[in-house]
Amino acid sequence: MKAVWTRVAPLVREKKLRGLFLEVSFPEGRPTGLLFGHLTPSWMLKELHHLARLADPAQPEQALRGLTVVVTHIKLSLERGSMPQEQIAQQLQALNDLGVRFVIPEQGQRIEF
């Protein structure tokens, strides 16, 4: 991801990046050894913090404010309870200290940047 963030950081800095599509496959609680390279909400925020520091080392907490991040590749669950989309949305909002606009898309939904 570092190579991607290094390429994207100047676009963030110049306010030319309109949005990102980034996957969060599982809600919090899945063991790291069972992620197989996929992200949870906390791992997504760690990655976004890396991008923010590259984009604006002086004020990383402001670097991504208002940026739209479309959350993709959410894995379905066979367990009873709330849907993974709902869990992930709630967890992302709770962890969102960067002011990012998270979108959990629904089939057929139009997303504007």
- Indicate yes or no: pTM above 0.75: yes
Decide if 88 contacts 41 (C-beta within 8 A). yes
| Ranges of each domain in the chain | 2-103
Say how far apart CA 20 and CA 27 lie, in whole Å.
19
Which residues partner with 102 through β-bridges? Answer: 69
Decide if 9 contacts 1 (C-beta within 8 A). no
DSSP class of residue 78 equals -
Q: What does the pLDDT look like over 75-102, one tens digit per residue?
A: 988 777 779 999 999 999 999 999 999 9
Q: What does the pLDDT look like over 6-56, one tens digit per residue?
A: 999 999 999 999 999 999 999 999 898 999 999 999 999 999 999 999 999
CA nearest neighbour of 26 among 36, 16, 18: 36
Count of beta carbons in the 10 Å neighbourhood of residue 56: 16
